[in-house]
Amino acid sequence: MDLYANRDSNIRRTWILFTAFFIVVIGIGWVFSQIYGNPSILIFAVLFSIVMNVVSYWYSDKIVLATTGAKPIQKSQAPELYNVVENLAITAGLPMPRVYIVDDAMPNAFATGRNAEHGVVAVTRGLLERLNRTELEGVLAHELSHIGNRDMLVSTVAVVLVGFIALLSDMFMRSMIFGGLRGGDRDNNRAGAILMVVGIALSILAPIAATLMQLAISRKREFLADASGALLTRYPDGLASALEKIGAYTQPMRRANNATAHLWLADPHGKKHTTVAKLFMSHPPIQERISRLRGMRV
């Protein structure tokens, strides 16, 4: 597959998913507003979800670094790592990101920061021990591509939408329990009863569907970063070889958690997934990523 065509295809699929996501959110919001009969509740839910997630986005680097236990390093402590990041940042036209190391045996890496000026790249001790320079370049090019592609912004918008749906669903179910919905004779109103059943079904299924769409977007962004990183190094085999080594390591990270799992190059839990479980993966299967990289023409 042509590298540029693969990158463009991943961008298109991401935005198709986003469009579908927005349509689902608007549809669910409309249904719940009809059930509640109070648009101000819907406005509050939207504003609360956005404020909470914008705050998270603004401080994303600090939150992630504290959660993962990453420590800043100077150039004198890891000159080869610093040189690789510096060269790739210049090639990509990005500011030099801050560089961190996570003291963990699992080979892995992540990038964070709300924009290129606040970019952070972190690698584990295991990554530095197991990869050669070419493989390290492939991994770091992937991570810098996340910064260049503004994936933190995409991820934050997705989280806002998921949080909005979850909040509405929770409000609806609580109103059901405590009898807070409008309309005392709703049970005698056939249309109202049908709308109520739809609302209950949505309150159960919508958060699951929203989470699946968020994870699908996350997986597309990984494919996009793979392709963009390969464009940066002009050598897809570097990242492919690195992913092979990472995939062979099955022990979980010491501080693996679901909140930051999507940021890592590979699943920090180190699990082998069943077919059904793959729907809930934040990353595409490593073998599929390797196959795509090996099939690219530079």
Could you state, in order of their start, the residue ranges of all structural domains in the chain?
1-298
The continuous run of DSSP H or E covering 71 comes out as strand 71-72
Marked catalytic residue, from 129, 143, 244, 288: 143
Q: How far is CA 15 from the centre of its chain?
A: 14
| Cα first-last separation, the chain | 9
**Structure tokens of 108?**
């892995």
- Tell me the CA distances in angstroms from 253 to 11, 102, 103, 172, 296, one per residue in order: 30, 10, 10, 38, 31
User: Is there a contact between 122 and 70 (Cβ–Cβ < 8 Å)?
Assistant: yes
Name the DSSP class of 262. G
For 120-260, strand residue ranges (E) read 120-124
pTM given for the model:
0.77
- Tell me the CA distances in angstroms from 184 to 35, 181, 187, 192, one per residue in order: 13, 8, 8, 11
C-beta contacts of 22-31 below 8 A and 24+ residues apart: 22/161, 24/165, 24/206, 24/209, 24/210, 24/213, 25/161, 25/164, 25/165, 25/210, 28/165, 28/168, 28/202, 28/206, 29/164, 29/168, 31/195, 31/198, 31/199, 31/202
The model's pLDDT over 250-262, given as tens digits with 9 standing for 90+, comes to 899 988 877 778 8
List the one residue out of 96, 72, 76 whose CA is nearest residue 86.
96
Concerning whether 143 is annotated as a catalytic residue, the answer is yes
The model's pLDDT over 27-81, given as tens digits with 9 standing for 90+, comes to 777 777 777 676 776 677 667 767 766 777 788 788 888 889 999 999 999 999 9
Pick the range with the lowest mean pLDDT from 22-31, 68-77, 89-98, 279-288: 22-31
- Number of CB atoms found within 10 A of residue 245's CB: 16
Check whether 21 has a pLDDT greater than 60: yes
C-beta contacts of 47-55 below 8 A and 24+ residues apart: 48/167, 49/160, 49/163, 49/164, 49/167, 50/160, 50/164, 52/163, 53/156, 53/159, 53/160, 53/163, 54/156, 54/160
The model's pLDDT over 99-135, given as tens digits with 9 standing for 90+, comes to 999 999 999 999 988 888 989 999 999 999 999 999 9
